Amino acid sequence: MTDDPREERRPSRARLVLAAYLLAVFCAILVAKALAAGGLEQTAMFYVGIPALIAVTVVLTARPRSAVGLTLAVTTVGLALAGPLLDEGVVCLVMAAPLIYGVAALIAWIVTALTTPAWKHHHAVVAVPLLAAALVEGVAGVSYLPRESAASATVMVEATPEEYAAALAAPPAYGPFDAVLLKTVPFPRPVSATGSGLEVGDHRVVRFNDRKSLGIGAEPTPRSMTLRVTESEVESASGRVVFEVTADSTLSRWMDLRTATVEWHRAGDRTETTWTLDWARTYDPSWYFGPLQQHTTGLAADYLADTFAAAASR
């Protein structure tokens, strides 16, 4: 207790630290808005630069004892606010969270190492140019890894090639995901499809479960994907059909899915089928989103292969 009323009115250090944390979070949100307005919301400038901004602000302003711990706490608050304020969906936040936490912790450690004399870890400065190189990926077309890729899945079907072709020509009955990742995140799930046939020009319209954004006052929005048969070679013992994506309001936020190719041939009294999804990565940094999207696309190919295998086996 002090007799000086000015001392009592002076903000405590804890309050100043809290104000600094909130400032870091809202500065990050403003930067996110600016990057989104400039079309940079899918670049490394967004996913690396924003957590770096939070980390630097926290370390230099608050000077906490545990810079990494407090930076992660502020990052958590920022992620919690990102959904309502940036109108992000659950999938985007969950998939990007490990990257954001990792960058925030790394930058907090680097800044602390460079600004705390007792640490004397000045070799951490070598990480600065690496961070700068990571920030530019996705800006002006910069990409360190190829954007185009493909994922495949092969299954043996307890049916003849004719039965499999008939199942492929008809609208399938979509079931729940088996892959833990697809169920947990959760990814868009196909609900129904319209259209039939395997002739060139035949169409499919696949409807997915509605998108549920975390934005304030956001309503569920329908999403779908339209595909057209562009190549078709169907014979009695084998076949190959290429479906081209012509409209997509489902996956276009995360990747550019281009074609789905189905190949099958007789294998004894069964049929061997292979689904291949060709896609292009639209998110950066490539070293994070590339493997992640490759894995999830592989799971999607598995799901499609199993779905039509089950339909042909009935």
pLDDT in tens, 21-42: 666 666 666 676 676 666 665 5
Question: Whose CA is closest to 179, among 19, 275, 297, 265?
Answer: 297
For 74, other C-beta atoms within 10 Å of its C-beta total 25
| Residue 268 binned pLDDT confidence (cut-offs 50, 70, 90) | very high
Task: Please tell me the predicted confidence (pLDDT) of residue 216.
Answer: 58
Q: Is the pLDDT of residue 277 over 50?
A: yes
User: Please, which residues bridge with residue 248 across strands?
Assistant: 225
Question: Whose CA is closest to 109, among 28, 101, 32?
Answer: 101
Q: Which residues are CB-contacts of 247 (< 8 A; sequence separation ≥ 6)?
A: 224, 225, 226
Q: Is the pLDDT of residue 44 over 70?
A: no
Residue type, 202: D
Task: Please tell me the predicted confidence (pLDDT) of residue 41.
Answer: 56
Least confident of 102-116, 122-136, 295-309: 122-136
| Residue 212 binned pLDDT confidence (cut-offs 50, 70, 90) | confident
Q: Is the pLDDT of residue 298 over 80?
A: yes
> Per-residue pLDDT averaged across 235-252, rounded?
96
pTM above 0.85, yes or no: no
Question: Whose CA is closest to 29, among 68, 79, 70, 67?
Answer: 79
> Could you tell me if 245 and 255 are in contact, meaning their C-beta atoms sit under 8 angstroms apart?
no
Residue 269 in tokens: 């009294």
Task: Please tell me the predicted confidence (pLDDT) of residue 1.
Answer: 45
- Distances 117 to 111, 114, 254, 283 between C-alpha atoms, Å: 11, 8, 43, 38
Task: Please tell me the predicted confidence (pLDDT) of residue 284.
Answer: 84
Q: Which long-range contacts (CB under 8 A, 24 or more apart) does 68-73 make?
A: 68/105, 68/108, 68/109, 68/112, 70/21, 71/104, 71/105, 71/107, 71/108, 72/101, 72/104, 72/105, 72/108, 73/21
Of 13-27, 43-57, 211-225, which one has max mean pLDDT?
211-225
Q: Is the pLDDT of residue 112 over 50?
A: yes
Percent of residues, the chain, with pLDDT higher than 70: 65
> Per-residue pLDDT averaged across 169-194, rounded?
91
> Could you tell me if 238 and 266 are in contact, meaning their C-beta atoms sit under 8 angstroms apart?
yes
> Per-residue pLDDT averaged across 257-263, rounded?
98
Average pLDDT, the chain: 81
Question: Whose CA is closest to 108, among 74, 77, 76, 67?
Answer: 67
> Per-residue pLDDT averaged across 147-163, rounded?
97
Residue 103 in tokens: 């960058």
Of 107-116, 234-243, 284-293, which one has max mean pLDDT?
234-243
Query: Does residue 59 or residue 30 have the better pLDDT?
Result: 30
| Residue 187 binned pLDDT confidence (cut-offs 50, 70, 90) | confident
Task: Please tell me the predicted confidence (pLDDT) of residue 274.
Answer: 98
Question: Whose CA is closest to 105, among 130, 76, 82?
Answer: 76
DSSP tag of 138: T
pLDDT tens, position by position, 72-82 = 777 777 776 66
Q: Is the pLDDT of residue 249 over 90?
A: yes
